[in-house]
Structure 1
Amino acid sequence: MVAAPEDFPTAFAAAWHSRDGHQIGALFAEDADFVNVTGLWWRDRAAIAKAHDYALKSFFAETVLTPGVTTTRLLGPDHAVVQCRFRLTGQMAPAGTNAGDRQTILSFVLRRMAGGWQAVSAQNTDVVPGAETHLNSGGFRAVDYRGT
């Protein structure tokens, strides 16, 4: 849990850098949801922790996750939406080479609990510069219609 909603992205990055998925899981409610950049949907704290633990010990083992621009919108006294643009560096590709830097926007829905704020939902979206949407035409790829 975190003391204030705007602290959540920094706490998420700190848990990421611990390389312990259970530290990420501890930021989420027992019945929380997390949808990753490819649409994998983890539906409770244990699944969120397990998936992150695997990733942080394998293809994300050398990554640095840096929070950037953050917005916080209170939805009453006990709920908030926090969105943060993160930069991810150091991801390993399947061949063992560097997969290149990425930017994502993580959206968190938080609720106030005794002792602080905890996520009940998260959605991770890759930022694809110069693209408006995706096409599935024999291979999933980002496209931009503005140039056509």
Structure 2
Amino acid sequence: MQNSKRALLSLLLCVAVAHIGHAQTDEKAIENQVDKLVSDWNTHSFKNMDTYTTEDVEWVNIVGMWWKGRTEVKSAHQRIFDTIFKGVPFTKKSVKIRSLTPEVAVANLICHVGEFFPPDGVNHGTNRMPEADDLLTLVFVKRNGVWLLSAGQNTVIDSRAANGDSKK
């Protein structure tokens, strides 16, 4: 009886260690995909988007535009990075990944965005958006062993609200 308890305990321990190893491997794979996205923002070219998004990816941008499907998401990103975000630096500050199922995970990315000038990327004297941090929620799905971005949404972090000071 004692040996069977030890065997069961050993088996459970092995399963737990294997699960932790898979979780770490998955998190690293997802973070690599996030890095590809941030790299594309900084190169202002989205030719790599096919390698880290699903065909049916959806994106809600910072001003509430809702893009659907890889072709539209890719084209819309290219358009705004050729204008509004032309030459604007993007810096990944942190990413937190949470597994929902073995095939679905949510990544929360905080990214620092340099100043930019909407709607056309030109400084008209009154259209400057100061540099700020953005919080992105990214949904990843595992397809054929590869983690792919299925949905994304970003929001500017209002430091006054984030600090609980809504009166300033």
- What is the TM-score normalised by the length of structure 1? 0.79
Return the alpha-carbon distance in structure 1 between the equivalents of residues 50 and 85 of structure 2: 16
1:20-50: CA deviation from partner (whole Å, max 9, x where unpaired): 2343354221111100111100011111101
Secondary structure at the counterpart of residue 117 of structure 1: strand
Secondary structure at the counterpart of residue 20 of structure 1: coil
Whether the aligned pair in 2 keeps the contact of 1:31 and 1:120 (CA below 8 Å) is: yes
Whether the aligned pair in 1 keeps the contact of 2:84 and 2:121 (CA below 8 Å) is: no
Whether the aligned pair in 1 keeps the contact of 2:115 and 2:132 (CA below 8 Å) is: no
Q: Percent of counterpart pairs with the same letter? A: 21
Return the alpha-carbon distance in structure 2 between the equivalents of residues 112 and 95 of structure 1: 36
The CA RMSD over aligned residues, in Å, is 2.5
Specify the code of the residue in structure 1 equivalent to 2:150.
V
| Residues 95 and 14 of structure 1: CA distance in aligned 2, closer, same or farther (over 3 Å) | closer
- In the other structure, the counterpart of 1:38 is 63
Return the alpha-carbon distance in structure 1 between the equivalents of residues 67 and 50 of structure 2: 11
User: Is 1:131 aligned to 2:161, yes or no?
Assistant: yes
- What is the TM-score normalised by the length of structure 2? 0.70
Which deviates the most, 84-93 or 16-25?
Answer: 16-25
Secondary structure at the counterpart of residue 111 of structure 1: strand
User: Is 1:111 aligned to 2:141, yes or no?
Assistant: yes
Secondary structure at the counterpart of residue 131 of structure 1: helix
Unmatched tracts of structure 2, length 5 or more? 1-26
- In the other structure, the counterpart of 1:15 is 40
Whether the aligned pair in 2 keeps the contact of 1:70 and 1:82 (CA below 8 Å) is: yes
- In the other structure, the counterpart of 2:52 is 27
Whether the aligned pair in 2 keeps the contact of 1:37 and 1:125 (CA below 8 Å) is: yes
Specify the code of the residue in structure 2 equivalent to 1:110.
F
Specify the code of the residue in structure 2 equivalent to 1:71.
K
Return the alpha-carbon distance in structure 2 between the equivalents of residues 95 and 33 of structure 1: 24
| Residues 25 and 53 of structure 1: CA distance in aligned 2, closer, same or farther (over 3 Å) | farther
Return the alpha-carbon distance in structure 2 between the equivalents of residues 8 and 23 of structure 1: 10
Return the alpha-carbon distance in structure 1 between the equivalents of residues 140 and 93 of structure 2: 19
Write 1 or 2 for the structure with the bigger share of helix.
2
Write 1 or 2 for the structure with the bigger share of strand.
1
How far the C-alpha of 1:55 sits from its partner, in A, is: 1.0
How far the C-alpha of 1:114 sits from its partner, in A, is: 2.4
